Chains A and B, each alone.
Chain A
């Protein structure tokens, strides 16, 4: 398994990647981690989960899940409903511990730091999350995006307009809302609301962005916009996306992990998972035999 990321990295030349990224509506530095992508030895993953077990009361939802998330890659988590993929995702920013009666065992690392021992607010500042249904705050569009910056005290009041504009541009929403920044976020369409939630998450410059079935409440056009934007922002953050939609995984993800009944059955490069899975369960799921 450990050689897989290396193979993936050799697939594309750095120049190809740069061209791909230059089309993104983003002007900041894109050089950050591209060079290490071509090294033969695998770089340290951005996040690494080892032997994670998760309990909701007496129900054990995750069994010894170990998975690595390489930097600046999109990792998709797929599997049937109730397989634990969302639980696993929600363990990565410890949002699940806000539910009563939950317990987690194992080890999760962010750049080598122990996630389970970190200050939870700084963890969540670094590991952002977008939810299944758009959940904008009942505030203006501007205030929604500025919220994370404000609560973390990341910038002064005078810097906020720039940060809000930059974040909305990164989420490909700026042109649609630039004239109504102070209108209620609830006046936006579902797809716009979800991109607003992505902008809200990007405003605090997260290193990792977790997305929990972000397109399940959206139509295909809104879905395509979000998929485009994920590919465009992955040079600035590592992305983990839970999806029910296997085509979506195939379109956006570099790597894919398949969950079943609380276990990670296998994980590999996305094309390998879809074309040549090594486990029977994966093949059955991919080919639509169940789930």
Chain B
């Protein structure tokens, strides 16, 4: 074998090994995180975690019931604002958008998607928290909705674009208006994909902590309204994890595990919806 051949073969083997190892590392990261969370969190997740308020500084026991409810409130507000705007933006891009304006909107979506989440938090603080002189669930929901809009818009557009033109023409050819065609034929045909995208988007933003730090802040107690500072799981993990108390560390692990399990459930649900969605078409 010539030297050149040996060189070529060994380079081939080296790169194969390198790419394989990197792929393995990628998979391992997820499993290590999962294992570590389960190892540290599983023993800490008890009924009290879901039913009780956090105990005072340094005390043992208690739970994060207020943070679970708070997260649900904030995510619900984010969904109520972000999903409709994102959805209709996606519909516009797919069904109406002219070339130039669509390009701009699509590009802005990508940019918005790339804005660091802490910057989104600062923006929501300026727009909502400062004028109201109050941290609130509303401000937190608003911040998360800004992240949800581009995610929902992009995935909605993608699934709508995939609907065959023939279906649209079939509806238009019967005398349906464009809007009726979109609402009665195109969107229903894509609804499983759209729902999947929305679920994944909601799961994604529900784990965000940075946009909530200056908006919903935190709360050791039940918040009494949407305009009060409100506890959330991600912020609670942050505040407990940086505390000097072992029992708070334990609670932070528990919160991390609960949050991860919720996100995993959402992901699996989304995947199930999508795979059950496509009915085999007969020819």
Q: Is the CB of B166 within 8 A of A131?
A: yes
B34 touches A (CB below 8 Å):
no
Q: Given that A151-B174, A151-B176 are contacting pairs, would A190 and B283 also be in contact in the complex, using a CB cutoff of 8 Å?
A: yes
A95 and B176 alpha carbons, distance in the complex (Å): 12
**Please, which residue of chain B has its CB at the minimum distance from the CB of A144?**
B170
Given A95-B169, A131-B170, A133-B166: A121 and B188 interface contact (C-beta under 8 Å): no
What's the Cα separation between A121 and B180 when bound, in Å? 11
The residue from A139, A187, A201 contacting B174, defined by CB atoms under 8 A apart = A201
Cα separation A148 to B167 with both chains bound (whole Å):
13
Chain B residue at smallest Cβ distance from A100: B99
List the B side residues contacting A133 at CB < 8 Å.
166
Judged by a CB distance under 8 angstroms, whether B172 is at the interface is yes
Interface size, chain A (Cβ < 8 Å): 33
Is B131 interfacial (CB 8 A cutoff)? Answer: no
Contacts of A86 in B (CB 8 A): none
One of B172, B175, B180 near A122 (C-beta < 8 A): B175
Q: Which residues of A contact B164 (CB under 8 A)?
A: 135
A56 within 8 A of B: no
Check B134 for interface membership: any CB of A closer than 8 A: no
Q: Mark B158-191, 1 if CB is under 8 A from A, else 0.
A: 0000001011111111111100100011001100
Residues of B within 8 A of A125 (CB): 174-175
Asked, given contacts A133-B166, A186-B282, A190-B283, whether A95 binds B189 with beta carbons under 8 Å apart, the answer is: no
Say yes or no: A137-B283 contact (C-beta < 8 A), given A128-B174, A200-B174: no
The reply to whether B171 and A147 contact each other, CB–CB distance below 8 Å, is yes
- Total residue contacts A-B, CB cutoff 8 A: 79
- B281 interfacial by beta-carbon distance below 8 Å: yes
In the complex, chain B residues whose CB is within 8 Å of the CB of A81: none
* A100 to B102 CA separation, bound complex (whole angstroms): 14
Listed by A's residue number, 24 A-B pairs whose Cβ atoms lie within 8 Å are A100-B99, A121-B177, A125-B175, A128-B173, A129-B169, A137-B185, A147-B171, A148-B175, A148-B176, A151-B171, A151-B174, A151-B175, A151-B176, A151-B184, A152-B176, A186-B281, A189-B282, A190-B282, A200-B170, A200-B174, A201-B173, A201-B174, A204-B174, A217-B283
Closest to B281 in A: A186
- Residues of chain A with a CB closer than 8 A to B169's CB: 95, 98, 129, 131, 135
Contacting A137 at CB < 8 Å: which of B167, B279, B281? B167
Q: Are B166 and A124 in contact (CB under 8 A)?
A: no
A247–chain B nearest beta-carbon distance, Å: 23
- B166 / chain A contacts, CB cutoff of 8 Å: 131, 133, 135
Given A93-B173, A137-B185, A151-B174, A188 contacting B180 (CB threshold 8 A): no
Residue ID in chain B nearest A193 by CB atoms: B282
Q: Nearest A residue to B188 by beta-carbon distance? A: A138
1/0 per residue B99-110: CB within 8 Å of A?
100000000000
Mark B8-30 against chain A: 1 for CB-CB distance below 8 A, else 0: 00000000000000000000000
Interchain CB contact under 8 A, B175 and A186: no
> Chain A contacts of B175 at CB under 8 A?
121-125, 148, 151-152, 204
Could you tell me the distance in whole angstroms from the C-beta of B276 to the nearest C-beta in chain A? 14
In the complex, A77 has a CB within 8 A of chain B: no
Task: Please measure, in the bound complex, the distance between the C-alpha atom of A68 and the C-alpha atom of B278, giving whole angstroms.
Answer: 44
Across the interface, which residues of A come within 8 angstroms of B99, CB to CB?
Answer: 100
Contact B279 A186 (CB under 8 A): yes
- Does A197 have its Cβ within 8 Å of any Cβ on chain B? yes
Rounded to whole Å, the gap between the CB of B108 and the closest CB of chain A is: 22
Please, which residue of chain A has its CB at the minimum distance from the CB of B170? A135
* Chain A contacts for B177, CB-based, 8 A: 121, 151
Residues in A whose Cβ lies below 8 Å from that of B174 = 124-125, 128, 147-148, 151-152, 200-201, 204
B176, A184: Cβ atoms closer than 8 Å: no
Given contacts A122-B175, A129-B173, A139-B188, 11 further A-B contacts (CB under 8 A): A93-B173, A98-B168, A98-B169, A98-B172, A124-B175, A125-B174, A151-B180, A152-B176, A187-B282, A200-B170, A204-B175
- Cα A200 to Cα B171 in complex, Å, equals 10
**Can you name the residue of chain B whose Cβ is closest to the Cβ of A151?**
B176
Please provide the chain A residues from 190 to 220 with a CB less than 8 Å away from any CB of chain B in the complex. 190, 197, 200-201, 204, 217
Query: Per-position contact with A for B174-210: 1 when CB-CB < 8 Å, else 0?
Result: 1111001000110011000000000000000000000
Contact of A184 with B279 in the complex, beta carbons under 8 Å: yes
The closest CB in chain A to the CB of B167 belongs to: A135
